Structure formats: structure tokens, C-alpha cells
């Protein structure tokens, strides 16, 4: 997959990207919102295996580039029944809070609906109000709140919010 808009490119992550992905995924500041304040403690080799297992049909890890520089990552996974699960992280702090996440989500969601998916789902931490605002602005509907449903790496109980989006509710920003 390769999607471009203006100065943004979303593309399949490749072997050469594994070191960058490992650096982000091992950084607790980047991963804290996902429940991993100590990072994932993964290796480029482990990530390379994940990339090799991906396909357009099953799902992919995607790299986000802005003006040719890697700034974050996205992913999608085919859950069956024409449903895709997605995720996004703008990993480089200098590119956060600039509206790029909303544009990247619009790009990926448009492509996934174009590929025949009828529903897109995602979840986020209940405390991640910024993400919830972005998802709802794109038309995502809150399906449920999962109170104290899991423990993070520090043993703290966390809650999450499940969202879903259908093509008729989608409000694109591109």
C-alpha cells in the first residue's frame, strides 16, 4: 500500500524501517498512551518477522512520512466480515498536535473503504481525549467504554473506548 497526499506518504513498512519502528516502540514516551510506559522491549528482528507476516488482505504495518522523513506509524488488520481494525501513532513529538493524524487517518480510511471494507474499528485509552476528539470528528461512533479492563506495565488499571465507523458516517479531511 502506498497513499500520498500533499507532503504526506503512508506506505508499507519495509525491512529498512525496522530499526526506526523498534526505536519508537521501545520509547516509553511514545508508547505510554497505549499502556506501555516502559516501551515494548522489542527488536528490529522481531519487527521484521511481523512485517513478513503482513499482506494486503491480512493487514500491514505502515510508515507515515512527512516531507520524506518518518514521523509515525499506522496499521490495519482484517478482522473478517468486511471489518478492519486500525491504529495510529504520530511518534515524533514535533509533528504532534498539527492535524497530521486526522489527515493520515482520512487517507487510510478512504483507502480501506475503497478496498471493500464496510466497517472500521479502533480503540483508545479512555484518558486519551485528544484521540477521541479526532476519531469523533471523522465520524467514528463510540460503541462502549471498557472500565478498568486491563493493567498497564506499571500495574495500573486502565480503561478503553471502542469506536466504529461506516462509510456513510465518514467525514474525510482530505
Query: Rounded to the nearest 5 degrees, what angle is found at the Cα of 49, between the Cα atoms of 46 and 54?
Result: 135
* Residue 30 CB burial class (10 angstroms; 0-12, 13-18, ≥19): buried
Instruction: Say what the pLDDT of residue 21 is.
Output: 98
Q: Which residues contact 111 (CB under 8 A, 6 or more apart)?
A: 1, 3
Q: Which residues contact 80 (CB under 8 A, 6 or more apart)?
A: none
Kindly report the CATH number assigned to the domain that includes residue 16. 3.40.630.30
Q: What grid cell was written down for 154? A: 506499571
Instruction: Say what the pLDDT of residue 92 is.
Output: 97
Q: Quick count: other Cβ atoms within 10 Å of Cβ 89? A: 20
13 is a domain residue: yes
Instruction: Say what the pLDDT of residue 173 is.
Output: 86
Instruction: Say what the pLDDT of residue 33 is.
Output: 83
Quote the number of domains for the chain: 1
93 is a domain residue: yes
146 is a domain residue: yes
140 is a domain residue: yes
Whole-angstrom Cα distance, residue 58 to residue 46?
A: 18
Which tens digits make up the pLDDT trace of 31-80?
A: 998 889 999 999 999 999 999 999 999 999 999 999 999 999 999 999 99
* Residue ranges making up the domain that contains 54: 2-169
Which tens digits make up the pLDDT trace of 95-150?
A: 999 999 999 999 999 999 999 999 999 999 999 999 999 999 999 999 999 999 99
174 is a domain residue: no
Strand duo 59-66 + 8-12: pairing:
antiparallel
49 is a domain residue: yes
Whole-angstrom Cα distance, residue 23 to residue 18?
A: 9
Instruction: Say what the pLDDT of residue 106 is.
Output: 98
Amino acid at each position: 500500500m502506498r497513499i500520498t497526499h500533499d507532503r504526506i506518504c503512508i506506505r508499507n513498512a519495509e525491512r529498512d524501517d525496522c530499526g526506526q519502528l523498534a526505536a519508537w516502540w521501545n520509547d516509553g514516551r511514545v508508547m505510554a498512551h497505549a499502556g506501555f510506559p516502559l516501551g515494548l522491549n522489542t527488536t528490529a528482528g522481531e519487527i521484521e518477522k511481523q512485517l513478513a507476516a503482513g499482506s494486503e488482505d491480512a493487514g500491514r504495518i505502515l510508515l507515515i512520512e512527512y516531507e520524506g522523513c518518518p514521523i509515525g506509524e499506522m496499521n490495519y488488520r482484517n478482522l473478517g466480515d468486511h471489518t478492519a481494525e486500525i491504529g495510529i501513532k504520530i511518534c515524533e513529538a514535533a509533528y504532534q498536535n498539527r492535524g497530521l493524524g486526522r489527515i493520515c487517518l482520512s487517507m487510510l480510511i478512504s483507502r480501506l473503504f475503497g478496498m471493500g471494507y464496510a466497517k472500521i474499528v479502533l480503540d483508545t485509552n479512555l484518558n486519551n481525549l485528544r484521540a477521541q476528539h479526532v476519531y469523533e470528528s471523522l465520524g467514528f461512533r463510540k460503541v462502549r467504554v471498557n472500565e478498568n479492563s486491563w493493567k498497564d506495565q506499571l500495574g495500573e488499571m486502565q480503561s478503553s473506548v471502542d469506536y466504529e465507523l461506516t462509510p456513510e458516517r465518514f467525514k474525510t479531511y482530505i
